[in-house]
Copies of this chain bind each other. A is one copy, B any other.
Protein backbone atom coordinates (compact mmCIF):
# COMPACT_ATOMS: atom_id res chain seq x y z
CA UNK A 1 0.00 0.00 0.00
CA UNK A 2 1.25 3.45 -0.96
CA UNK A 3 1.07 6.07 1.75
CA UNK A 4 1.65 9.71 1.19
CA UNK A 5 -0.04 13.07 1.25
CA UNK A 6 -3.20 12.43 -0.70
CA UNK A 7 -4.63 15.61 -2.17
CA UNK A 8 -6.69 14.04 -4.97
CA UNK A 9 -9.95 13.58 -3.10
CA UNK A 10 -11.99 14.99 -5.97
CA UNK A 11 -11.02 11.83 -7.84
CA UNK A 12 -11.49 9.33 -5.02
CA UNK A 13 -11.58 9.58 -1.25
CA UNK A 14 -10.61 6.79 1.13
CA UNK A 15 -13.64 4.61 1.96
CA UNK A 16 -14.38 5.29 5.60
CA UNK A 17 -13.82 2.60 8.19
CA UNK A 18 -17.46 2.83 9.18
CA UNK A 19 -18.68 2.37 5.61
CA UNK A 20 -16.47 -0.67 5.10
CA UNK A 21 -17.21 -2.27 8.45
CA UNK A 22 -20.96 -1.79 8.10
CA UNK A 23 -20.81 -3.24 4.58
CA UNK A 24 -18.88 -6.36 5.56
CA UNK A 25 -21.70 -8.41 7.14
CA UNK A 26 -23.61 -8.00 3.89
CA UNK A 27 -20.75 -9.62 2.03
CA UNK A 28 -20.16 -12.47 4.45
CA UNK A 29 -23.44 -13.31 6.22
CA UNK A 30 -26.43 -11.44 4.87
CA UNK A 31 -25.71 -11.94 1.21
CA UNK A 32 -29.13 -12.99 -0.07
CA UNK A 33 -31.13 -11.19 -2.72
CA UNK A 34 -33.87 -8.86 -1.50
CA UNK A 35 -35.92 -10.08 -4.48
CA UNK A 36 -36.15 -13.51 -2.81
CA UNK A 37 -39.45 -13.98 -0.98
CA UNK A 38 -37.84 -16.00 1.81
CA UNK A 39 -36.05 -15.17 5.05
CA UNK A 40 -32.59 -15.11 3.46
CA UNK A 41 -33.81 -12.29 1.24
CA UNK A 42 -36.12 -10.61 3.69
CA UNK A 43 -33.54 -10.30 6.45
CA UNK A 44 -31.97 -7.50 4.42
CA UNK A 45 -34.81 -5.04 4.68
CA UNK A 46 -34.06 -3.34 8.01
CA UNK A 47 -30.57 -2.42 6.78
CA UNK A 48 -31.90 -1.36 3.38
CA UNK A 49 -34.42 0.96 5.04
CA UNK A 50 -31.83 2.47 7.38
CA UNK A 51 -29.43 3.08 4.53
CA UNK A 52 -32.03 4.84 2.40
CA UNK A 53 -32.93 7.01 5.39
CA UNK A 54 -29.33 8.14 5.82
CA UNK A 55 -29.02 8.98 2.11
CA UNK A 56 -32.32 10.89 2.12
CA UNK A 57 -31.09 12.81 5.16
CA UNK A 58 -27.84 13.77 3.45
CA UNK A 59 -29.72 14.99 0.39
CA UNK A 60 -32.48 16.59 2.44
CA UNK A 61 -34.95 14.65 0.29
CA UNK A 62 -38.60 14.10 1.15
CA UNK A 63 -40.12 10.66 1.53
CA UNK A 64 -42.13 11.22 -1.64
CA UNK A 65 -38.95 11.78 -3.67
CA UNK A 66 -37.33 8.76 -5.29
CA UNK A 67 -33.80 7.52 -4.88
CA UNK A 68 -32.07 4.93 -7.03
CA UNK A 69 -28.85 3.22 -6.03
CA UNK A 70 -26.57 3.25 -9.06
CA UNK A 71 -23.12 1.79 -9.65
CA UNK A 72 -21.46 5.18 -10.14
CA UNK A 73 -22.18 8.81 -10.80
CA UNK A 74 -21.72 8.35 -14.54
CA UNK A 75 -24.51 5.78 -14.60
CA UNK A 76 -27.00 8.21 -13.09
CA UNK A 77 -25.99 11.00 -15.45
CA UNK A 78 -26.41 8.71 -18.44
CA UNK A 79 -29.78 7.59 -17.10
CA UNK A 80 -31.07 11.15 -16.73
CA UNK A 81 -29.93 12.13 -20.20
CA UNK A 82 -31.28 9.02 -21.95
CA UNK A 83 -34.49 9.34 -19.94
CA UNK A 84 -34.91 12.87 -21.24
CA UNK A 85 -34.56 11.56 -24.77
CA UNK A 86 -37.16 8.81 -24.19
CA UNK A 87 -39.64 10.79 -22.13
CA UNK A 88 -39.30 14.31 -23.49
CA UNK A 89 -37.58 14.52 -26.87
CA UNK A 90 -39.45 11.69 -28.53
CA UNK A 91 -42.77 12.94 -27.27
CA UNK A 92 -42.53 16.73 -27.36
CA UNK A 93 -39.84 17.19 -29.98
CA UNK A 94 -37.79 19.27 -27.55
CA UNK A 95 -34.37 18.12 -28.61
CA UNK A 96 -31.88 20.57 -27.19
CA UNK A 97 -29.65 19.53 -24.32
CA UNK A 98 -27.40 21.91 -22.39
CA UNK A 99 -24.30 21.40 -20.32
CA UNK A 100 -21.10 23.43 -19.99
CA UNK A 101 -17.65 23.34 -21.53
CA UNK A 102 -16.14 22.68 -18.12
CA UNK A 103 -18.55 19.94 -17.12
CA UNK A 104 -17.43 16.35 -16.69
CA UNK A 105 -17.20 13.72 -19.39
CA UNK A 106 -20.38 11.70 -18.69
CA UNK A 107 -22.77 14.58 -19.40
CA UNK A 108 -20.79 15.87 -22.37
CA UNK A 109 -20.41 12.41 -23.92
CA UNK A 110 -23.96 11.19 -23.24
CA UNK A 111 -25.37 14.36 -24.79
CA UNK A 112 -22.91 14.08 -27.66
CA UNK A 113 -24.17 10.64 -28.53
CA UNK A 114 -27.74 11.86 -28.64
CA UNK A 115 -26.68 14.29 -31.36
CA UNK A 116 -26.57 11.21 -33.60
CA UNK A 117 -30.23 10.68 -32.66
CA UNK A 118 -31.41 14.13 -33.66
CA UNK A 119 -30.58 16.07 -30.52
CA UNK A 120 -28.58 19.27 -30.38
CA UNK A 121 -26.12 19.76 -27.57
CA UNK A 122 -25.24 23.28 -26.41
CA UNK A 123 -22.37 24.19 -24.14
CA UNK A 124 -22.73 27.11 -21.77
CA UNK A 125 -19.55 29.15 -21.45
CA UNK A 126 -17.70 29.49 -18.17
CA UNK A 127 -17.27 33.00 -16.78
CA UNK A 128 -13.91 34.41 -15.63
CA UNK A 129 -15.27 33.75 -12.13
CA UNK A 130 -15.09 30.02 -12.88
CA UNK A 131 -18.87 29.85 -12.67
CA UNK A 132 -21.48 28.81 -15.14
CA UNK A 133 -23.68 31.84 -14.59
CA UNK A 134 -27.44 31.89 -14.87
CA UNK A 135 -26.95 34.33 -17.74
CA UNK A 136 -24.69 31.88 -19.59
CA UNK A 137 -27.38 29.24 -19.21
CA UNK A 138 -30.14 31.62 -20.25
CA UNK A 139 -28.13 32.43 -23.39
CA UNK A 140 -28.25 28.79 -24.50
CA UNK A 141 -31.96 28.27 -23.99
CA UNK A 142 -34.43 28.06 -26.84
CA UNK A 143 -38.04 26.87 -26.86
CA UNK A 144 -36.65 23.46 -27.79
CA UNK A 145 -34.47 23.05 -24.69
CA UNK A 146 -35.36 19.84 -22.88
CA UNK A 147 -32.68 19.42 -20.23
CA UNK A 148 -29.91 21.34 -18.49
CA UNK A 149 -27.28 19.21 -16.80
CA UNK A 150 -24.55 20.75 -14.68
CA UNK A 151 -21.98 19.89 -12.07
CA UNK A 152 -23.04 21.65 -8.92
CA UNK A 153 -19.41 22.56 -8.32
CA UNK A 154 -16.29 22.04 -10.34
CA UNK A 155 -14.15 19.21 -9.04
CA UNK A 156 -10.83 20.91 -9.77
CA UNK A 157 -11.45 24.59 -9.13
CA UNK A 158 -14.06 24.11 -6.41
CA UNK A 159 -16.20 26.92 -7.83
CA UNK A 160 -19.89 26.45 -6.99
CA UNK A 161 -22.47 27.24 -9.65
CA UNK A 162 -25.53 29.39 -8.89
CA UNK A 163 -27.82 26.40 -9.08
CA UNK A 164 -30.91 27.85 -7.42
CA UNK A 165 -30.92 30.71 -9.91
CA UNK A 166 -30.49 28.29 -12.81
CA UNK A 167 -33.23 26.06 -11.41
CA UNK A 168 -35.61 29.02 -11.40
CA UNK A 169 -34.92 29.64 -15.09
CA UNK A 170 -35.52 25.95 -15.80
CA UNK A 171 -38.76 25.95 -13.88
CA UNK A 172 -40.04 29.07 -15.67
CA UNK A 173 -39.22 27.56 -19.03
CA UNK A 174 -40.40 24.02 -18.36
CA UNK A 175 -36.89 22.57 -18.69
CA UNK A 176 -35.67 19.56 -16.72
CA UNK A 177 -32.69 20.34 -14.48
CA UNK A 178 -30.07 17.81 -13.47
CA UNK A 179 -27.31 18.49 -10.98
CA UNK A 180 -24.24 16.36 -10.41
CA UNK A 181 -23.73 16.72 -6.66
CA UNK A 182 -20.69 14.46 -6.44
CA UNK A 183 -18.36 17.14 -5.23
CA UNK A 184 -20.69 19.05 -2.91
CA UNK A 185 -22.24 16.36 -0.73
CA UNK A 186 -20.85 16.65 2.77
CA UNK A 187 -19.06 19.85 1.77
CA UNK A 188 -21.88 22.32 1.35
CA UNK A 189 -24.96 23.34 3.32
CA UNK A 190 -28.02 23.53 1.11
CA UNK A 191 -31.78 23.38 1.19
CA UNK A 192 -32.90 20.91 -1.46
CA UNK A 193 -36.24 22.65 -1.86
CA UNK A 194 -34.43 25.89 -2.64
CA UNK A 195 -32.01 24.19 -5.02
CA UNK A 196 -34.98 22.92 -6.97
CA UNK A 197 -33.32 20.32 -9.20
CA UNK A 198 -35.41 17.61 -10.82
CA UNK A 199 -32.58 15.10 -10.70
CA UNK A 200 -29.48 14.90 -8.56
CA UNK A 201 -26.77 12.32 -9.14
CA UNK A 202 -23.59 11.57 -7.29
CA UNK A 203 -20.71 9.14 -7.20
CA UNK A 204 -19.92 7.30 -3.96
CA UNK A 205 -16.17 7.43 -4.39
CA UNK A 206 -15.88 11.09 -3.39
CA UNK A 207 -18.14 10.54 -0.37
CA UNK A 208 -15.77 8.07 1.32
CA UNK A 209 -17.98 5.21 0.12
CA UNK A 210 -16.49 2.26 -1.75
CA UNK A 211 -16.21 2.18 -5.52
CA UNK A 212 -19.20 0.78 -7.34
CA UNK A 213 -21.70 3.02 -5.57
CA UNK A 214 -23.61 6.10 -6.62
CA UNK A 215 -27.05 7.59 -6.47
CA UNK A 216 -29.81 9.19 -8.49
CA UNK A 217 -32.40 11.35 -6.75
CA UNK A 218 -35.63 12.00 -8.61
CA UNK A 219 -37.89 14.77 -7.35
CA UNK A 220 -41.42 13.68 -6.48
CA UNK A 221 -43.63 13.87 -9.55
CA UNK A 222 -40.75 13.87 -12.05
CA UNK A 223 -40.51 10.91 -14.40
CA UNK A 224 -37.35 8.98 -15.08
CA UNK A 225 -36.87 6.11 -17.50
CA UNK A 226 -34.55 3.28 -16.53
CA UNK A 227 -31.13 2.95 -18.12
CA UNK A 228 -30.80 -0.67 -17.01
CA UNK A 229 -34.07 -2.48 -17.59
CA UNK A 230 -34.56 -5.86 -16.04
CA UNK A 231 -37.19 -6.49 -13.44
CA UNK A 232 -39.06 -4.82 -10.67
CA UNK A 233 -36.01 -4.00 -8.58
CA UNK A 234 -35.81 -0.40 -7.33
CA UNK A 235 -39.41 0.23 -8.36
CA UNK A 236 -38.48 -0.54 -11.96
CA UNK A 237 -36.08 2.41 -12.16
CA UNK A 238 -33.11 0.05 -12.30
CA UNK A 239 -33.17 -3.68 -12.99
CA UNK A 240 -30.54 -6.05 -11.70
CA UNK A 241 -30.07 -7.39 -8.20
CA UNK A 242 -29.88 -4.58 -5.62
CA UNK A 243 -26.28 -4.09 -4.45
CA UNK A 244 -27.14 -4.32 -0.76
CA UNK A 245 -23.55 -4.16 0.58
CA UNK A 246 -22.97 -1.11 -1.61
CA UNK A 247 -26.17 0.52 -0.38
CA UNK A 248 -25.27 -0.12 3.25
CA UNK A 249 -21.81 1.36 2.74
CA UNK A 250 -23.28 4.37 0.96
CA UNK A 251 -25.76 4.84 3.80
CA UNK A 252 -22.97 4.81 6.36
CA UNK A 253 -20.92 7.21 4.24
CA UNK A 254 -23.92 9.53 3.91
CA UNK A 255 -24.40 9.59 7.65
CA UNK A 256 -20.75 10.43 8.24
CA UNK A 257 -20.76 13.07 5.53
CA UNK A 258 -23.61 14.79 7.30
CA UNK A 259 -21.89 14.53 10.68
CA UNK A 260 -18.58 15.89 9.40
CA UNK A 261 -19.95 18.62 7.13
CA UNK A 262 -19.44 21.35 9.68
CA UNK A 263 -15.84 20.26 10.22
CA UNK A 264 -15.15 20.12 6.49
CA UNK A 265 -16.65 23.55 5.94
CA UNK A 266 -14.54 25.16 8.64
CA UNK A 267 -11.41 23.22 9.57
CA UNK A 268 -10.73 21.72 6.15
CA UNK A 269 -11.39 25.10 4.54
CA UNK A 270 -8.79 26.53 6.89
CA UNK A 271 -6.26 23.88 5.86
CA UNK A 272 -7.05 24.50 2.21
CA UNK A 273 -6.43 28.20 2.73
CA UNK A 274 -3.23 27.40 4.55
CA UNK A 275 -2.10 25.28 1.62
CA UNK A 276 -2.85 28.06 -0.87
CA UNK A 277 -1.21 30.78 1.16
CA UNK A 278 1.70 28.60 2.15
CA UNK A 279 2.54 27.62 -1.42
CA UNK A 280 2.31 31.19 -2.67
CA UNK A 281 4.42 32.43 0.21
CA UNK A 282 7.11 29.80 -0.35
CA UNK A 283 6.95 30.08 -4.14
CA UNK A 284 5.66 33.56 -4.98
CA UNK A 285 5.34 32.93 -8.71
CA UNK A 286 2.44 30.56 -8.02
CA UNK A 287 -1.06 31.97 -8.28
CA UNK A 288 -4.33 30.95 -6.71
CA UNK A 289 -7.75 31.36 -8.33
CA UNK A 290 -11.37 31.94 -7.48
CA UNK A 291 -10.70 32.73 -3.82
CA UNK A 292 -13.43 35.35 -3.82
CA UNK A 293 -15.96 32.96 -5.26
CA UNK A 294 -18.42 30.75 -3.52
CA UNK A 295 -16.38 27.57 -3.64
CA UNK A 296 -15.96 24.17 -2.04
CA UNK A 297 -14.05 24.12 1.24
CA UNK A 298 -11.71 21.33 0.20
CA UNK A 299 -10.13 22.20 -3.09
CA UNK A 300 -7.97 24.70 -4.86
CA UNK A 301 -6.28 25.19 -8.19
CA UNK A 302 -2.88 26.87 -8.56
CA UNK A 303 -0.71 27.75 -11.51
CA UNK A 304 3.07 27.57 -11.56
CA UNK A 305 4.18 29.79 -14.46
CA UNK A 306 6.73 28.18 -16.72
CA UNK A 307 6.30 24.70 -15.28
CA UNK A 308 4.34 22.06 -17.21
CA UNK A 309 1.72 20.68 -14.84
CA UNK A 310 2.51 17.07 -15.79
CA UNK A 311 6.12 17.64 -14.78
CA UNK A 312 5.12 19.07 -11.41
CA UNK A 313 2.54 16.32 -10.87
CA UNK A 314 5.26 13.77 -11.53
CA UNK A 315 7.80 15.45 -9.29
CA UNK A 316 5.25 15.59 -6.46
CA UNK A 317 4.34 11.98 -7.07
CA UNK A 318 7.96 11.01 -6.50
CA UNK A 319 7.74 12.75 -3.14
CA UNK A 320 4.40 11.04 -2.50
CA UNK A 321 2.27 14.15 -2.71
CA UNK A 322 -0.71 13.21 -4.85
CA UNK A 323 -2.43 16.01 -6.77
CA UNK A 324 -4.47 16.23 -9.96
CA UNK A 325 -4.40 17.66 -13.47
CA UNK A 326 -7.82 16.14 -14.18
CA UNK A 327 -8.40 13.11 -16.34
CA UNK A 328 -10.68 10.10 -16.01
CA UNK A 329 -14.17 11.56 -16.04
CA UNK A 330 -12.83 14.99 -15.08
CA UNK A 331 -11.85 17.70 -17.46
CA UNK A 332 -8.20 18.72 -17.70
CA UNK A 333 -7.24 21.44 -15.22
CA UNK A 334 -5.61 23.44 -18.02
CA UNK A 335 -8.70 23.35 -20.21
CA UNK A 336 -10.88 24.52 -17.36
CA UNK A 337 -8.71 27.53 -16.59
CA UNK A 338 -8.47 28.33 -20.27
CA UNK A 339 -12.28 28.20 -20.54
CA UNK A 340 -12.36 30.70 -17.67
CA UNK A 341 -10.25 33.10 -19.70
CA UNK A 342 -6.81 32.35 -18.30
CA UNK A 343 -3.97 32.55 -20.79
CA UNK A 344 -3.48 29.10 -22.30
CA UNK A 345 0.23 28.77 -21.54
CA UNK A 346 -0.38 29.68 -17.93
CA UNK A 347 -3.44 27.42 -17.73
CA UNK A 348 -1.30 24.46 -18.71
CA UNK A 349 0.71 24.89 -15.54
CA UNK A 350 -2.35 24.32 -13.33
CA UNK A 351 -2.52 21.73 -10.59
CA UNK A 352 -5.55 21.00 -8.46
CA UNK A 353 -5.34 19.89 -4.83
CA UNK A 354 -8.35 18.45 -3.04
CA UNK A 355 -8.40 17.71 0.68
CA UNK A 356 -10.74 15.49 2.65
CA UNK A 357 -11.88 15.46 6.26
CA UNK A 358 -8.92 13.14 6.88
CA UNK A 359 -6.30 15.62 5.72
CA UNK A 360 -4.13 16.78 8.63
CA UNK A 361 -2.34 20.04 9.33
CA UNK A 362 0.97 18.18 9.37
CA UNK A 363 0.26 16.88 5.88
CA UNK A 364 -0.50 20.38 4.67
CA UNK A 365 2.67 21.76 6.24
CA UNK A 366 4.73 19.06 4.57
CA UNK A 367 2.88 19.42 1.27
CA UNK A 368 3.62 23.16 1.15
CA UNK A 369 7.31 22.50 1.54
CA UNK A 370 7.38 19.68 -1.01
CA UNK A 371 5.34 21.62 -3.58
CA UNK A 372 7.46 24.75 -3.26
CA UNK A 373 10.70 22.76 -3.45
CA UNK A 374 9.55 20.87 -6.54
CA UNK A 375 8.41 24.07 -8.23
CA UNK A 376 11.74 25.73 -7.48
CA UNK A 377 13.66 22.84 -8.97
CA UNK A 378 11.44 22.66 -12.06
CA UNK A 379 11.44 26.39 -12.60
CA UNK A 380 15.06 26.03 -13.66
CA UNK A 381 13.78 23.97 -16.61
CA UNK A 382 11.16 26.48 -17.69
CA UNK A 383 8.94 25.98 -20.70
CA UNK A 384 9.03 29.06 -22.88
CA UNK A 385 6.40 31.64 -21.93
CA UNK A 386 5.71 32.22 -25.58
CA UNK A 387 5.31 28.53 -26.35
Contact = CB atoms under 8 A, between A and B. Distances in A.
A203 interface: yes
Nearest to A85: B117
A246 interface: yes
B39 A239 contact: no
B8 A78 contact: no
A228 B106 contact: yes
Contact of A205 (B6, B15, B33, B75): B33
A326 to B, nearest CB: 10
Contacts of A244: 211
A71 B70 CA distance: 9
A231 to B, nearest CB: 4
Contacts of A39: 2, 4, 317, 320, 322
Number of identical monomers bound together in the oligomeric complex = 2
Contacts of A106: 228-231, 239-240
Given A71-B71, A106-B231, A36 B322 contact: yes
Contacts of A24: 20
A12 B240 CA distance: 12
Interface in A229-245: 229-233, 239-245
Contacts of A4: 39-40
B105 A230 contact: yes
Contact of A1 (B30, B71, B117): B30
A205 B40 contact: no
A28 interface: yes
B30 A245 contact: no
A381 interface: no
A113 interface: yes
A162 interface: no
Contact of A28 (B15, B110, B316, B317): B15
A327 interface: yes
Contacts of A30: 1-2
Contacts of A1: 25, 29-30, 43
Given A2-B40, A36-B322, A212-B245, A328 B78 contact: no
Interface string A31-57: 111011111110100000000000000
Given A28-B20, A38-B313, A322-B36, A245 B110 contact: no
Most chain B beta-carbon contacts within 10 A, residue among A8, A74, A242: A74
Contact of A15 (B31, B43, B210, B228): B31
A120 B36 CA distance: 32
A134 to B, nearest CB: 26
A308 B75 CA distance: 40
Most chain B beta-carbon contacts within 10 A, residue among A1, A41, A230: A230
A33 B20 contact: no
Given A11-B35, A35-B11, A71-B212, A105 B246 contact: no
* Nearest 4 interchain pairs by C-beta: A35-B328, A106-B230, A71-B71, A74-B240
20 contacts: A1-B25, A1-B29, A8-B32, A8-B33, A35-B328, A36-B327, A37-B313, A39-B322, A71-B75, A71-B243, A72-B241, A78-B239, A86-B113, A90-B117, A106-B231, A110-B229, A112-B229, A212-B243, A232-B328, A233-B328
